[in-house]
Amino acid sequence: MPATDNVMDKLVSLAKRRGFVFQSSEIYGGLGSVWDYGPLGVELKKNIKERWWRSMVHDREDIEGLDAAILMHPKVWEASGHVSGFTDPLVDCKQCKNRFRADDPRIKGTPGEPTAQCPVCGSKGTLTAPRMFNLMFKTFMGPVEEAAALVYLRPETAQGIYVNYLNVLQSSRQKIPFGIAQIGKAFRNEITPGNFIFRTREFEQMEMQFFVKPGTDSEWLEFWRGERMKWLVGLGVRAEKLRFHQHTKDELAHYAKDAYDVQYEFPFGWQEFEGIHNRTNFDLSRHQEFSGKKLEYLDVATNERFIPYVVETSAGADRTTLVVMVDAYHEDEVEGEKRVVLRLHPALAPLKAAVFPLVNKDGMPELARRIFDDLRKYYNTFYDDGGSIGRRYRRQDEAGTPFGITIDGQSTQDGSVTVRDRDTLKQDRVAADRLVTYLAENLKG
């Protein structure tokens, strides 16, 4: 691995060069901490989301899927505690007009006091006392911009699940314990976004709320901790780069009784990219109170009524994408030449194979095209006839494509092609009509 301090710079540059991630509105100078996924990035993130959906919804009988709207009744956010509690303390510098989080480590002294110094302009006594700033984005519904028309862009997808809990329970005929899973956008007006797609103002969450009988919640929290770690390791993420961090009392969110962060060792340190939370019956109780609608569960076997407890697994799709990219990033040397390679798990790789005619003559392009057209019916495949074969391999190494298929002189004679493995660099000679089977066998995992 290269020196850790510039891995992020290299990854951001690779992401742009190969079409994984671009800065939003780049031709206008960009929009702060908002990013767009390019042709390869959209495939990578989609593959991660699909794998998550499969493991949560399709592989399990006790979890149902949902796709709730981003805009919700404003009372949802009063009930959830986000209107009053989803805030960060901020201070302003009256001199240079910069704004900081009150706990910004660069601030010397206590904001609001005459000795405190602005970390940007250096003035003393110009920082205001901390004020609370709500992180929810606001907009207006309908033509009139007035308080009554105020709505929020959801800061978490979870609330869409809670308000649909009864609808899903009744329509799916599930019984407790059961879960509801959802993937969707969330928005937070973060004060200190950064580190590429790590902390942004618009992001995607993959959240699952598991409704359980009170008293069984701690057991289920343990169960989901184990499941989530298995899933992550199954994506090919190195286990030694993953760890849990249990929240201390001070760190717990307003709704949580117990919580674990799943952390990854990024080049900028150990950081959370998923949370597993025991949310008790906080959210459902509050929605019952604010909506006036009964959200109790009747256990037919015991005739008991209760408001279920919720164990939540909350992953960021963008942060998981960053974990996968950072973990896959490698530099090595092939035949004395440096190369960058993304060792992506084959199931996540945006492209599964690339097809190259060795030269653009002697029947090779025609045969290569035929092979490409066959393969793309089964796998996302790329055709490249530009530049030396070495350069074409390098481009696909950077894209994380597991296999490079070269059509050479021998191919036009006996119908065999070479298949180069991205990681081992081993080349196999394979009959073209066996390629689909060959890829099926070798892309497993």
Site of interaction with ligand GAP (CB under 6 A): 156, 158, 188, 190, 199-200, 203, 205, 207, 272-275, 312, 314-316, 318-319
- Alpha-carbon distance 171 to 152, whole Å? 28
- Alpha-carbon distance 291 to 72, whole Å? 13
- Alpha-carbon distance 348 to 346, whole Å? 5
Residue 364 CB, nearest distance to ligand GAP (Å)? 46
Nearest to ligand GAP of 286, 319 (CB atom): 319
Residue 25 CB, nearest distance to ligand GAP (Å)? 18
Residue 268 CB, nearest distance to ligand GAP (Å)? 14
Residue 188 CB, nearest distance to ligand GAP (Å)? 5
Which token pair is 433? 């009509």
Nearest to ligand GAP of 258, 374 (CB atom): 258
Nearest to ligand GAP of 184, 316 (CB atom): 316
Q: Which residue is nearest to ligand GAP (CB)?
A: 316
Sheet of strand 131-134: strand arrangement? 99-101, 87-92, 131-134
Residue 103 CB, nearest distance to ligand GAP (Å)? 17
- Alpha-carbon distance 262 to 6, whole Å? 24
Question: 263 to each of 146, 186, 367, how far by Cα in Å?
Answer: 42, 20, 48
CB distance 180 to 23 below 8 Å: no
Residue 39 CB, nearest distance to ligand GAP (Å)? 22
3-state secondary structure of 243: strand
- Alpha-carbon distance 293 to 109, whole Å? 49
3-state secondary structure of 134: strand
The residue written with tokens 């951001």 in the block is 12
Nearest to ligand GAP of 86, 438 (CB atom): 86
3-state secondary structure of 23: strand
Which token pair is 71? 């805009």
User: What backbone phi and psi angles, to 5 degrees, belong to 406?
Assistant: -110, 135
Q: What are the start-end ranges of the E strands in 281-351?
A: 297-299, 304-306, 309-316, 329-334, 337-342
Nearest CA-CA partner of 182 in 200, 156, 202, 148: 156
Nearest to ligand GAP of 278, 411 (CB atom): 278
Nearest to ligand GAP of 55, 205 (CB atom): 205
Nearest to ligand GAP of 124, 241 (CB atom): 241
- Alpha-carbon distance 276 to 314, whole Å? 6
Which token pair is 313? 């697994």
Nearest to ligand GAP of 132, 440 (CB atom): 132
Residue 272 CB, nearest distance to ligand GAP (Å)? 5
Nearest CA-CA partner of 13 in 5, 21, 3: 21
| Bridge partners, residue 35, by sequence | 23
The residue written with tokens 């407890």 in the block is 309
Nearest to ligand GAP of 155, 402 (CB atom): 155
Nearest to ligand GAP of 229, 364 (CB atom): 229
Residue 265 CB, nearest distance to ligand GAP (Å)? 15
Residue 207 CB, nearest distance to ligand GAP (Å)? 6
Residue 286 CB, nearest distance to ligand GAP (Å)? 14
